[in-house]
Structure 1
Amino acid sequence: MKYTNILEINNSKNIKITIICLHDLGGDKTNFLPIIKNTKIYKNINIRFIFPQSPKISISANNNIIMNAWYNVYCKKKKIEDKKGIKKSQKKIEKIINKEINRGILTKNIFLLGFSQGAVIALQTGLKYSKQLAGLISLSGYLPFKKNIKKKKIINSLNTPIFIAHGIYDNIINVKNIIKLKNFFKKNKYNFKCNLYKIKHEICKKEISDVDFWINKKILTNN
């Protein structure tokens, strides 16, 4: 599995903050561009946005159609998760995080943001990373391998702030999964915030505004 495409945008020369943005199934590295450029953090903070693109793989649930994807998706009836694919993508994002650290960005200033499949990888990577990150933003996602994460909690990740945003009418990832996730985070004492919106499996303006505000608040707190 090769990762060749990474788009990077810096709004200044003196970069202090990095946000790694992960697209959804079938999406690409440009998906977040129209959203990001309209945020206050992009306009007011020295920031770097990194947009990795997933490889093209065969998706079992879509009649084996080749698509951009972070991992394979199986038929819902099978209730199988592509552990190998998810972990490969996790390692890729970890390498990007480590590269940013080598470029002088502190871990407390590195965010992971994702939509749908991208949100899954953001949560999986952030909660398994050895150091506390600035924050994890999950838009219409879910947390894979909850039992495994519960058994092998990384102490530093318990303090990593998490922002969960989900549509109550989501027809792809049912909101019931988010209620369970909310209870999981609460029971295991994670630092999280959960917002629900009157939308389907999509991103709305109010959601982006809330994420923008939340990230800005975390940046001000850490710096």
Structure 2
Amino acid sequence: MLKNLNIEEVLFLDIETVPQAPEYNDLNEKWQQLWEHKMQFQINNDEPAEVLYDRAGIYAEFGRIVCISAGYVLQKHGELFFRVKSFYDEDEKKLIQNFFNALNLFSKKGKRRLCAHNGQEFDFPYIARRALVNNVRLPKILDIAGAKPWEVKDLLIDTLQLWKFGDYKHYTSLSLLCELFNIPTPKDDIDGSQVAEMYWEKKDIDRIVRYCEKDTLAVANLLLKYKGDKIIPIENMEVA
């Protein structure tokens, strides 16, 4: 499968998400109750649900998208480059709509497949769910509710699922696989656990965007490694 994959037909994605509100106490009473119900089986030692609110960003019902980065591989003079564009806006609906508009343009240019790490369980459904919440029409490639796995396997690529080799119990982070395959990643940046702080407290969306873009390149390089090809150095990343 991967041997015959044309890497230049793939659009690589990464999203960054945060809780809907900066703090648990910023939620109204109904949403606090809903969060407590969501966390009822994860609370230990009678801790209140509010101590787990920093996890809210990973749930599409309680979080929101603050950045989507999308990039693709191209060749110039026999060398691979990675061109990436990011979509971010305080208005989540506008962010998603702008990304979908670009997604349609990418499709017309031959980028007919999407790839993300853990995309099957996180990025793809999260984008689709937040689009529905914001009343944004889904593009065909993400309008997959109820679709069978074999119906979308040629459209949506997940580097985590590829690494699982059918093992449903096994989760491996992108950072671990990058270390395993000697894929260079920046050491002076934030990690996913700091995104909410960067967004709500430090108001540093630029740093979040840079982090998202570099993760997108990391996903592309991981897929290149799976194919047995050379990776793209970070200096060959072009930001649109």
- TM-score, normalised to structure 2, is 0.31
The structure richer in helix per residue is 2
Higher gyration radius (CA): 2
